[in-house]
Amino acid sequence: MIKVLFFAKLSEQLGCRELQVNAELVQDTEQLFAYLNEQNNQWPAILKAQTWLKAVNQNMTADNVKLNDGDEVAYFPPVTGG
Amino acid sequence: MISVQEHDFNQQIEYERLKSQTSIGAIVTFTGLVRDIKQGQSVSDLSLEHYPGMTEKCLKDIVEQAKQRWNIIASTVIHRVGHLTVSDQIVFVGVASQHRGDAFAACEFIMDYLKTEAPFWKKETMENGETQWVDARETDQKALSKWAVN
């Protein structure tokens, strides 16, 4: 399974903080994003409304990353700490 | 020392902890607080969300980068999460070095990177009860450019 996490404004808008995706259904993060868009008919509008950042196994990346069983992918808005 | 915590911190205790070695000639500390005004509106309180695990890893990476650039003897980064109110302390960065130049630069570098890379998100509650997620600021991104190597 691939663990998918959403944070802050994005998790609030999606109404979801975490979900598990069968690793056989998605080969990489591009496919995962497409899969997420199909999970709820309100999600595509939210997912394309602004630029969300992505981290794979807790490393931020803008690339399309190959996924393996047990990986963790997180989506979130630009950070605002400090 | 790196800590992501709900409870408050004590600057005096953190300062004494940094002052642990006799070779230290300079300590620079920064403390960030919850402000009461945001774009003309009154803020009553704040909640801070983070990405457990990644946050600590990210702060550690930032401190490592600072150590590669400056001569740092000891450092502390504390960031609070959860519910905070106006004037509460949010973040503490302390750097100890032999000379002040390293401590000043490293402290500012750590704060600039923390603000743009560490996965924390602020949600403000206004005095009228409305809540809103804080948007990332372009000025924070610009602050990073001064640390570019080339």
**Yes or no, beta carbons of A81 and B118 under 8 Å apart:** yes
> Distance between CA atoms of B107 and B129, rounded to whole angstroms?
35
Kindly list the domain boundaries of chain B, sorted by start residue. 2-136
Predicted local distance difference test score (pLDDT) of residue B150: 55
A79 to B120: CB separation less than 8 angstroms, yes or no: yes
Which CATH number belongs to the domain containing residue A39 in this structure?
3.10.20.30
> B94 near B28, Cβ under 8 Å?
yes
The pLDDT tens digits for B66-89 are 999 999 999 999 999 999 999 999
What digits encode the pLDDT tens for the residues B124-135?
999 888 999 998
Separation between Cα atoms, residue B15 and residue A53, nearest integer Å? 35
Q: CA A26 from chain center: how many Å?
A: 12
The total number of structural domains in chain A stands at 1
Q: For residue A81, is it within any domain?
A: no
pLDDT band at residue B149, thresholds of 50, 70 and 90? Answer: low
- The CATH topology of domain B2-136 is Aldehyde Oxidoreductase; domain 3 (3.90.1170)
> Is ipTM strictly over 0.90?
yes
What residues make up the domain containing A7? Answer: 2-76
Whether residues B119 and A76 touch (CB distance < 8 A) is answered with yes
Kindly report the length of chain A.
82
User: From CA A57, how far away is CA A61, in angstroms rounded?
Assistant: 10
Following DSSP, what letter does each residue of A31-67 receive, concatenated? HHHHHHHTS-TTHHHHHHHS--EEEETTEE--S--B-
Tell me the backbone φ, ψ of residue A3, rounded to 5 degrees.
-90, 125
Q: Are A82 and B114 in contact (CB under 8 A)?
A: yes
pLDDT digits (tens, 9 = 90+) for A8-39: 999 999 999 999 999 999 999 999 999 999 99
Of B54, B115, B133, the CB nearest to A81: B115
Is B51 within 8 Å of chain A by CB? yes
Residue B121 · residue A80 · CB < 8 Å? yes
Q: Is A8 on the interface with B (CB under 8 A)?
A: yes
Residues 13-72 of A with CB under 8 A from B: 55, 58, 60
